[in-house]
Amino acid sequence: MSKKKGFAEQVASTQIWKSIFRHGPPTNARNRAAVVAGNVFLHLHPIKLKKSGVQLGYTWCMGGLSFFVFLSLAVTGVLLMFYYRPTAEYAFNDIIALKEHVPLGIMRELHRWGAHAMVITVWLHMFRVFMTGSYKPPREFNWGVGVILLVLTLLLSFTGYLLPWDQLAIWAIAVGSNMAKATPFLGHGGPGAVLAKIGDFIMVSDRNDVRFQLLGGRFVGEPALLRFYILHCVFIPLVVGVLIAVHFWRVRKDGGISAPL
Amino acid sequence: MADEKRLSLNRREFFGHLAVGWSLFAAATGGLLALVFRFTFPNVNFEPTMSFTAGLPSDYEKGVDERWKNAYGVWIVKHEGILFALSNICTHLGCVPNWLPGEQKFKCPCHGSGYYVTGVNYEGPAPRPLERFKIVLNSEGKIFVDKTKIYRAEKGEWNNSDSFITV
């Protein structure tokens, strides 16, 4: 009455397999759609793509590469956190140790190269989206999300810049954080700060302005190292992760990847 | 039926309650966010104090004295009959210049700004002279430097009597 099942069929008919994979093999259009829609990771993607919309010459795959690089940065970053201590006493030596005392001494370089690569791929992705007019309605909201993601990518680079705690890092952040000093009304060197004065008392000074908030002090010291470490490893990646999910979801909801007309 | 207890709200009362409820919620949320914002400003930090006593004027030779540079970011300079406290923050982008005794100038390693011994810029990208701090003699005749009070040359503030000590 019944033919003996092959091994693959036997596995596919177990309760374990069926509890994980709800649908049959994606061999027809219905199952393919069900597989994508029923998977938490894949469902952020469009169920159907135009064949012309995924041409490499059209998309450059730069959005996908940006995401791939982001994932590899998350993995290498977590590995680096096993050895790196964000204190003035240890930070620089731990960076050296990551190269000298640890197998696979290029882990830190992988993270650094990945950071450079992500800035490049994100810029190229933005360039591609602009040149193909993919920012136009109905995708204008997702363009806005993308611009925020670009800024966050640059902020990840900026905050990571301080962590090696060498001369380059400290002075680069000293120079960079002086931009915060020039914020109108909120920075003590910016326009409007002079106006916020009561008699001889200056309300916006280097002890309470937005630069002080960023650095946790009047200059780039140990509090700044700790703050940048938290921003770099926890705060900004979390925000980026959420916005990436929104970004992918809106690609799907706004009509899929834009295709040549 | 005046004594019968009414169980339902009318439309006006409902919106009145709603307004009070949402206002309280918004106020609580705003208050909490304000506290979180304040949380990011520490009440105590372990940086050098903004003012310090720097010994007697006679302790200083003519020229640039670097003894307070690392601790407080200040050069005490004795030049042409006056003593003044010069900030060691470059006015270009905020690095720390070095005093080069051989060339008698302050030179910033970041982008090459150069300043005369007076703190006036003359080369590189620096847009204005180094800042000077309030410097006075206290009741014991010792030098007292107050970094919270800044004097800028471009505003003509170096003529202020608190920006230098005549020696």
- For chain A, the structural domain boundaries read 1-39, 56-253
Rounded to whole angstroms, how far apart are CA atoms A138 and A251? Answer: 10
Interface contact B45-A174, CB threshold 8 A? no
Interface contact A216-B42, CB threshold 8 A? yes
The pLDDT confidence band at residue A49, using thresholds 50, 70 and 90, is confident
pLDDT in tens, A84-142: 999 999 999 999 999 999 998 899 999 999 999 999 999 999 999 999 999 998 899 99
CATH class of B51-166: mainly beta
pLDDT in tens, A9-31: 898 889 998 888 888 888 898 88
Q: Is A171 left (phi over 0), alpha (psi -120 to 50) or beta?
A: alpha
How many Å separate Cα B141 from the centre of its chain? 26
A185-194, A224-233, B18-27, range with the lowest pLDDT: A185-194
| Among B47, B50, B89, B151, the residue to mutate for chain A (most A Cβ within 10 A) | B47
The H-assigned helical ranges of A91-219 are: 91-100, 107-131, 140-162, 167-181, 210-215
Q: What is the CATH number of domain A56-253?
A: 1.20.810.10
Angle between helices A107-131 and A62-81 (to 10 degrees): 160
Distances (CA, A) of A40 to A29, A45, A253, B25: 19, 10, 16, 34
User: Strand pairing partners for B121?
Assistant: B115
Q: pLDDT at position B9, please?
A: 85
Query: Judging by beta carbons within 10 Å of its beta carbon (0-12, 13-18, 19+), is residue A33 exposed, middle or buried?
Result: middle
Q: Model ipTM?
A: 0.82
The yes-or-no verdict on residue B43 having pLDDT over 70 is yes
The yes-or-no verdict on residue B97 having pLDDT over 90 is yes
Of B40, B50, B95, the CB nearest to A171: B95
For chain A, give me the number of helices (H) and strands (E)? 12, 2
Q: Among residues A258, A254, A252, A260, which one has the least CA distance to residue A33?
A: A252
Q: pLDDT at position A56, please?
A: 87
- Is the minimum CB–CB distance between B94 and chain A shorter than 8 Å? yes
Structure tokens at B136: 């006075």
Residues in A whose CB is inside 8 Å of some CB of B read 171, 174-175, 178, 181, 202, 205, 207-208, 212-213, 216-219, 221, 223
DSSP-derived secondary structure letter, A52: G
Answer yes or no: are the C-beta atoms of B109 and B98 closer than 8 Å.
yes
Name the residue type at position A15: Q
Interface contact B40-A207, CB threshold 8 A? no
